[in-house]
Amino acid sequence: MSPRSSLPDCPPVPPPLLAADEPPAVTVAAPDARSPLLLLCDHASNRVPRVLDGLGLPPAELDRHIGWDIGAAAVTLELSRRLDATAVLTGYSRLVVDVNRAPGEPSLMPAVSDGTPVPGNTGPDGGRLDAPAVARRMAALYTPYHETIAGLVAGRRAAARAPVLFCVHSFTPVMAGVKRPWHVGVLWNRDPRLAQPLLAALRAEGDLVVGDNEPYSGRTGFNRTLDLHAEATGLPGVMIEIRQDLIAGADGAAAWAERLARLLPPILALPALALPALSGPHRS
């Protein structure tokens, strides 16, 4: 018997999650832009890696709000163009892995989303995905996104250009049968430097119902991107949620980008944005 025959059988190595001809996990628009604003779009795409076969869902489900933040990418890219700001966008659906969730959260790779079962997010026994499947998605999609943001932040800090983080999301007008009255929401946790003046500016527009930590709250612990790259590092940051019916079309997305491009520059010039962030332990 040869020495090789006494070795245990090794499980087959799974193929890469992304094929060579598929789009990248993360896209950076205007990497050399001059604005201190760093735009982040966590749920920019509803694409699913080919090897995951659409997660077992029909395209119509992936086109819903469960698959992505409808209109958010269009607003982000137009805002990037108008303000000469760098933007970081995910390349794949939040259902494959939600980059705005902490590792270990059930909603990181949800088995059910807004009442829709996601077959591709369950194991063979109907339970949760096994550790190798989770690690494969994290390595291919989650880690590159956050490493890209961290690299941009570090590079700007090294050049004495500390950025201001601005996360662009969108929310469905109706959730669980309940209509949501807000046109836009501002989500934040402990650091008010960007959130408070943005709330004031949006309310001063006169034609908007503005939510302060509505329809979601920045204090729930489900805001991984801001928690990791702003709250934990002392940088100013905020998440904005725009109602999806307002930005689902190109005209609406452009109008919201124009509005934000008008409101943000005076806020970015406020002296308070250069102050140290609030000290003390993180609170959810």
How do residues 132-176 score in pLDDT, each as one tens digit?
999 999 999 999 999 999 999 999 999 988 899 999 999 999 998
Q: Output the CA torsion sign for 27, 29, 33, 35.
A: negative
| pLDDT at site 2 | 46
12 belongs to a structural domain? no
> pTM of the full predicted structure?
0.91
* Res. 192: pLDDT tops 80: yes
* Res. 19: pLDDT tops 70: yes
171 belongs to a structural domain? yes
| pLDDT at site 278 | 46
| pLDDT at site 1 | 44
| pLDDT at site 274 | 74
Q: List CB contacts of 6: < 8 A, sequence separation 6 or more.
A: none
How do residues 81-138 score in pLDDT, each as one tens digit?
999 999 999 999 999 999 999 999 999 999 999 999 999 999 888 888 999 999 999 9
* Res. 275: pLDDT tops 60: no
One-letter amino acid at 121 equals N
CATH number at 212 reads 3.40.630.40
42 belongs to a structural domain? yes
* Res. 277: pLDDT tops 60: no
* Res. 46: pLDDT tops 50: yes
* Res. 76: pLDDT tops 80: yes
Please report, rounded to a whole number, the percentage of residues in the chain having pLDDT higher than 90. Answer: 83
9 belongs to a structural domain? no
123 belongs to a structural domain? yes
If one counts the domains in the chain, the total is 1
How do residues 5-15 score in pLDDT, each as one tens digit?
455 565 566 67
Q: What are the backbone angles phi and psi of residue 32, rounded to the nearest 5°? A: -105, 20
| pLDDT at site 8 | 56
Helix 250-268 and helix 72-83, axial crossing angle in degrees, nearest 10: 50
| pLDDT at site 5 | 46
Show the domain range for 200: 21-272
10 belongs to a structural domain? no
The DSSP string of 107-138 is GGS-SEETTEE-GGGB-TTSSBPPHHHHHHHI
| pLDDT at site 15 | 74
Instruction: Using alpha carbons only, give the angle 79, 84, 88 rounded to the nearest 5 degrees.
Output: 65
27 belongs to a structural domain? yes
14 belongs to a structural domain? no
